[in-house]
Amino acid sequence: MRSFNAIEPPTANGVWVQAGTRWREVLAATTAVGLTPPVFTDYVDTTVGGTLCVGGIGGASHRHGLQVDNVLTLEVVTGDGRKIFCSPTIQPLLFRSVLVGLGQFAHRRSPV
Ligand SMILES: Cc1cc2nc3c(=O)[nH]c(=O)nc-3n(C[C@H](O)[C@H](O)[C@H](O)COP(=O)(O)OP(=O)(O)OC[C@H]3O[C@@H](n4cnc5c(N)ncnc54)[C@H](O)[C@@H]3O)c2cc1C
Protein backbone atom coordinates (compact mmCIF):
# COMPACT_ATOMS: atom_id res chain seq x y z
CA MET A 1 0.00 0.00 0.00
CA ARG A 2 3.00 2.32 0.39
CA SER A 3 2.88 3.18 -3.32
CA PHE A 4 -0.54 4.77 -2.73
CA ASN A 5 1.05 7.93 -1.36
CA ALA A 6 -0.39 10.83 -3.33
CA ILE A 7 -1.59 13.97 -1.54
CA GLU A 8 -4.07 16.34 -3.15
CA PRO A 9 -3.77 20.11 -2.52
CA PRO A 10 -4.88 20.81 1.09
CA THR A 11 -7.84 23.13 1.70
CA ALA A 12 -9.32 24.57 4.88
CA ASN A 13 -11.98 21.84 4.65
CA GLY A 14 -9.49 18.96 4.59
CA VAL A 15 -6.99 17.14 2.47
CA TRP A 16 -7.39 13.96 0.40
CA VAL A 17 -4.48 11.60 0.91
CA GLN A 18 -3.90 8.07 -0.24
CA ALA A 19 -3.71 5.45 2.49
CA GLY A 20 -0.01 4.66 2.07
CA THR A 21 1.03 8.26 2.76
CA ARG A 22 3.17 8.74 5.84
CA TRP A 23 1.98 11.31 8.37
CA ARG A 24 5.36 13.03 7.94
CA GLU A 25 4.41 13.72 4.30
CA VAL A 26 0.94 14.96 5.31
CA LEU A 27 2.61 17.25 7.85
CA ALA A 28 4.92 18.71 5.18
CA ALA A 29 2.14 19.21 2.60
CA THR A 30 -0.31 20.86 5.00
CA THR A 31 2.02 23.09 7.01
CA ALA A 32 3.44 24.35 3.69
CA VAL A 33 0.11 26.13 3.15
CA GLY A 34 -0.45 27.08 6.79
CA LEU A 35 -2.83 24.22 7.61
CA THR A 36 -2.65 21.05 9.67
CA PRO A 37 -4.87 18.04 10.40
CA PRO A 38 -6.21 18.22 13.97
CA VAL A 39 -4.30 15.17 15.27
CA PHE A 40 -0.97 13.62 14.32
CA THR A 41 0.47 10.49 15.82
CA ASP A 42 3.51 11.37 17.91
CA TYR A 43 5.59 9.19 15.59
CA VAL A 44 4.96 10.53 12.08
CA ASP A 45 6.54 7.77 9.98
CA THR A 46 3.40 5.65 10.34
CA THR A 47 1.00 5.70 7.39
CA VAL A 48 -2.49 7.17 7.25
CA GLY A 49 -3.93 3.74 6.42
CA GLY A 50 -2.03 2.08 9.23
CA THR A 51 -3.08 4.45 11.99
CA LEU A 52 -6.70 4.76 10.87
CA CYS A 53 -6.88 0.98 11.29
CA VAL A 54 -6.06 1.31 15.00
CA GLY A 55 -7.37 4.77 15.96
CA GLY A 56 -4.42 7.15 15.91
CA ILE A 57 -3.62 8.97 19.13
CA GLY A 58 -1.25 11.90 19.53
CA GLY A 59 -0.38 15.03 21.43
CA ALA A 60 -3.54 16.87 20.33
CA SER A 61 -5.93 14.02 21.19
CA HIS A 62 -6.88 15.58 24.53
CA ARG A 63 -8.44 18.37 22.45
CA HIS A 64 -9.46 16.74 19.13
CA GLY A 65 -9.89 13.03 19.89
CA LEU A 66 -8.36 10.28 17.80
CA GLN A 67 -7.37 10.61 14.16
CA VAL A 68 -10.37 8.46 13.22
CA ASP A 69 -12.65 11.05 14.86
CA ASN A 70 -11.46 13.56 12.26
CA VAL A 71 -11.89 11.55 9.05
CA LEU A 72 -14.48 13.08 6.73
CA THR A 73 -14.76 10.55 3.90
CA LEU A 74 -13.14 7.28 2.86
CA GLU A 75 -12.73 5.69 -0.53
CA VAL A 76 -12.99 1.98 0.23
CA VAL A 77 -12.12 -1.00 -1.95
CA THR A 78 -14.40 -3.86 -0.99
CA GLY A 79 -13.53 -7.53 -1.07
CA ASP A 80 -15.45 -7.95 -4.32
CA GLY A 81 -13.42 -5.19 -5.98
CA ARG A 82 -15.88 -2.32 -5.82
CA LYS A 83 -14.68 1.21 -5.03
CA ILE A 84 -17.11 2.96 -2.67
CA PHE A 85 -17.11 6.40 -1.06
CA CYS A 86 -18.41 6.42 2.49
CA SER A 87 -18.78 8.97 5.28
CA PRO A 88 -20.79 9.40 8.49
CA THR A 89 -23.88 9.97 6.28
CA ILE A 90 -23.07 7.93 3.15
CA GLN A 91 -22.77 4.17 3.74
CA PRO A 92 -22.18 4.89 7.47
CA LEU A 93 -21.88 1.22 8.46
CA LEU A 94 -19.03 0.70 6.00
CA PHE A 95 -17.40 3.94 7.20
CA ARG A 96 -17.51 2.86 10.85
CA SER A 97 -16.31 -0.64 9.98
CA VAL A 98 -13.18 0.54 8.18
CA LEU A 99 -12.10 3.02 10.86
CA VAL A 100 -10.39 1.09 13.67
CA GLY A 101 -11.12 -2.01 11.60
CA LEU A 102 -7.70 -3.54 12.42
CA GLY A 103 -6.96 -3.93 8.72
CA GLN A 104 -9.92 -6.19 8.06
CA PHE A 105 -11.25 -3.55 5.64
CA ALA A 106 -9.18 -1.73 3.02
CA HIS A 107 -9.23 1.94 2.22
CA ARG A 108 -7.43 3.60 -0.61
CA ARG A 109 -7.47 7.27 0.29
CA SER A 110 -9.05 9.51 2.88
CA PRO A 111 -9.35 13.22 3.64
CA VAL A 112 -8.03 14.05 7.11
C1 LIG B 1 7.65 3.55 16.53
C2 LIG B 1 6.14 3.56 16.60
C3 LIG B 1 5.50 4.65 17.17
C4 LIG B 1 4.10 4.68 17.22
N5 LIG B 1 3.49 5.78 17.72
C6 LIG B 1 2.14 5.85 17.70
C7 LIG B 1 1.46 7.04 18.14
O8 LIG B 1 2.05 8.01 18.54
N9 LIG B 1 0.11 7.04 18.10
C10 LIG B 1 -0.62 5.97 17.62
O11 LIG B 1 -1.85 6.05 17.57
N12 LIG B 1 0.00 4.85 17.20
C13 LIG B 1 1.35 4.76 17.24
N14 LIG B 1 1.97 3.62 16.81
C15 LIG B 1 1.13 2.47 16.42
C16 LIG B 1 0.69 2.61 14.97
O17 LIG B 1 -0.45 3.46 14.88
C18 LIG B 1 0.31 1.22 14.42
O19 LIG B 1 1.43 0.34 14.54
C20 LIG B 1 -0.10 1.35 12.96
O21 LIG B 1 -0.83 0.19 12.57
C22 LIG B 1 1.14 1.54 12.11
O23 LIG B 1 0.78 1.65 10.78
P24 LIG B 1 1.94 1.55 9.67
O25 LIG B 1 1.42 2.25 8.51
O26 LIG B 1 3.24 2.00 10.21
O27 LIG B 1 2.10 -0.01 9.49
P28 LIG B 1 1.66 -0.98 8.35
O29 LIG B 1 2.45 -2.21 8.66
O30 LIG B 1 1.76 -0.39 6.98
O31 LIG B 1 0.12 -1.22 8.65
C32 LIG B 1 -0.28 -1.89 9.83
C33 LIG B 1 -1.57 -2.63 9.52
O34 LIG B 1 -2.61 -1.68 9.21
C35 LIG B 1 -3.44 -2.24 8.20
N36 LIG B 1 -3.42 -1.32 7.04
C37 LIG B 1 -2.45 -0.47 6.66
N38 LIG B 1 -2.84 0.23 5.58
C39 LIG B 1 -4.08 -0.20 5.29
C40 LIG B 1 -5.03 0.15 4.28
N41 LIG B 1 -4.78 1.09 3.35
N42 LIG B 1 -6.22 -0.49 4.26
C43 LIG B 1 -6.50 -1.44 5.19
N44 LIG B 1 -5.64 -1.82 6.16
C45 LIG B 1 -4.46 -1.19 6.21
C46 LIG B 1 -2.93 -3.62 7.88
O47 LIG B 1 -3.65 -4.55 8.69
C48 LIG B 1 -1.50 -3.56 8.31
O49 LIG B 1 -1.02 -4.83 8.67
C50 LIG B 1 3.34 3.58 16.73
C51 LIG B 1 4.01 2.48 16.16
C52 LIG B 1 5.38 2.48 16.09
C53 LIG B 1 6.07 1.28 15.44
Dump the DSSP string for 54-75. Answer: T----TTHHHH--GGGG---EE
Counting from 1 in the atom list of ligand 1, the atom nearest the Cα of 1 is 41
- Residue 68 included in any domain: yes
Q: Which pLDDT tens digit goes with each residue over 52-105?
A: 999 999 999 999 999 999 999 999 988 888 999 999 999 999 999 999 998 886
Cα→Cα distances 16→13, 51, 63, 79, Å: 10, 16, 23, 22
Average pLDDT over residues 102-111: 68
Q: In angstroms, what is the span from residue 4 Cα to ligand 1's centroid?
A: 15
Average pLDDT over residues 23-47: 96
pLDDT on residue 79: 81
CATH code of the domain in which 84 resides: 3.30.465.10
pLDDT on residue 111: 63
- Residue 6 included in any domain: no
- Residue 56 included in any domain: yes
Q: In angstroms, what is the span from residue 48 Cα to ligand 1's centroid?
A: 8
Cα→Cα distances 22→17, 81, 96, Å: 10, 25, 22
- Residue 69 included in any domain: yes
Q: How many domains does the chain have?
A: 1
Position 106 pLDDT exceeds 90:
no
- Residue 1 included in any domain: no
Task: Give the residue numbers spanning the domain of 96.
Answer: 16-111
Instruction: Please state, in angstroms and rounded to a whole number, the distance separating the CA atoms of residues 20 and 41.
Output: 15
